[in-house]
Amino acid sequence: MRRLCLAVALLSALTSGLFAASYDYWLTGNPADATPAKTRAGLFLSGGGGDVTAAWKWFVACAGGGDIVVLRASGTDGYNDYIFNKIGGVDSVESIRFNDASAARDPRVLEIIAKADGIFLAGGDQSKYVTYWKDTPVAAALNAHLRASKPLGGTSAGLAVLGQYYYSALQHSSTSEAALRNPFDTSITLGRDFIAAPPLVGVITDSHFTARARLGRLVTFLARLSVEENPAPARLVGLGLDEGTALCIEPDSRAKVFTEKKGLAWLVVPTRAPGVIAPGKPLVLRGVQVIGLGPESAFDLATLQVDRPVTRRTVAAKDGKIVDDGPTPEKK
């Protein structure tokens, strides 16, 4: 009988551990629910490769100094100390690491997300965010958070899923070389309608932009969407973020760049249909506007009006490469 009792106890402990292992949770600060002064909508797009203090302070202000929730599928509680102590001015920081898809239906996880005053999606592997969260209660909670005019942000993989369109990386991460050489390479897996952020309708994002030479693959993503979406999108816009650089978007779609590594935000806008886009053939596409935005630039994401760009050029995809396609005159 004693052996049976021990076996039952061990089985119970193992079973409880399995359920608990679907996610991990860390809290820094006040465990009680905060009552922030006031929250306001805002989107915090970060390019990875380093956090940007000024952008984080903007995000915390949007959250009214309340409870910040960090969602992730790898790593631990690294943001807790950074936000609570270095950025400061928040009631608490809670990090949840999803270890499998079942956590997306856990009542405690959903309660924490529902009470968040600001939510930030950490870096890692966006394919896990897509497979764990899309079309689940977590996705519904994130969109409810946006409808409540609360701020949402993401870095690297977290940035990748914020647009209406997204690169899911379900196979493995694509390179510009592979994408331009074959726009239908198996590494190019695109999705839509995961996060419903109104300023990002018609937008697909990419991170580590200059450091990892990702212009070619973003151009390819846009070309693929232009021929695959039915009906055709009213607009298609790419947003690339350099490392150590963030784009903060106000509710009226005005956006400001913050950087700690002299990086830029990159606006990528196709103006023509692809000349050639077929499996196994290099992409041919002319007339893609590429505009680099810095801290001194003024940018409206709704109208795509840009004042004081750092750089502006028109490029083409040809022979598996990105080449200049002639200058684009500045607006007077």
pLDDT at 36: 81
pLDDT higher than 50, residue 98: yes
d(CA 286, CA 224): 14
The identity of residue 143, as a single letter, is N
The side-by-side arrangement of strands in the sheet containing 311-318 is 203-206, 237-241, 265-270, 285-293, 311-318, 321-324
pLDDT band at 116 (very low <50, low <70, confident <90, very high): very high
d(CA 224, CA 121): 26
The identity of residue 22, as a single letter, is S
pLDDT band at 198 (very low <50, low <70, confident <90, very high): very high
Average pLDDT over all residues of the chain: 92
Lowest mean pLDDT among 214-223, 226-235, 240-249, 260-269: 226-235
**Phi/psi of residue 203, each to 5°?**
-110, 140
Element (H, E) at 97: strand 92-98
Of 1-10, 21-30, 31-40, give the range with the top mean pLDDT: 21-30
pLDDT at 327: 56
Portion of the chain with pLDDT greater than 70, in percent: 92
- The domain segmentation of the chain, as residue ranges, is 37-324
Indicate the pTM of the whole model: 0.91
pLDDT at 181: 98
Q: What is the mean pLDDT of the segment spanning 106-130? A: 97
pLDDT band at 20 (very low <50, low <70, confident <90, very high): low
pLDDT higher than 70, residue 182: yes
d(CA 218, CA 268): 8
pLDDT band at 17 (very low <50, low <70, confident <90, very high): very low
d(CA 117, CA 123): 20
Whole-number Cα distances in Å, 20 to 7, 80, 102, 219: 20, 21, 10, 42
Candidate CATH numbers 3.20.20.70, 3.90.700.10, 3.40.50.880, 3.30.420.40; the one for domain 37-324 = 3.40.50.880
Tens digits of residue pLDDT in 303-325: 999 999 999 999 999 999 999 99
Q: What is the mean pLDDT of the segment spanning 26-32? A: 96
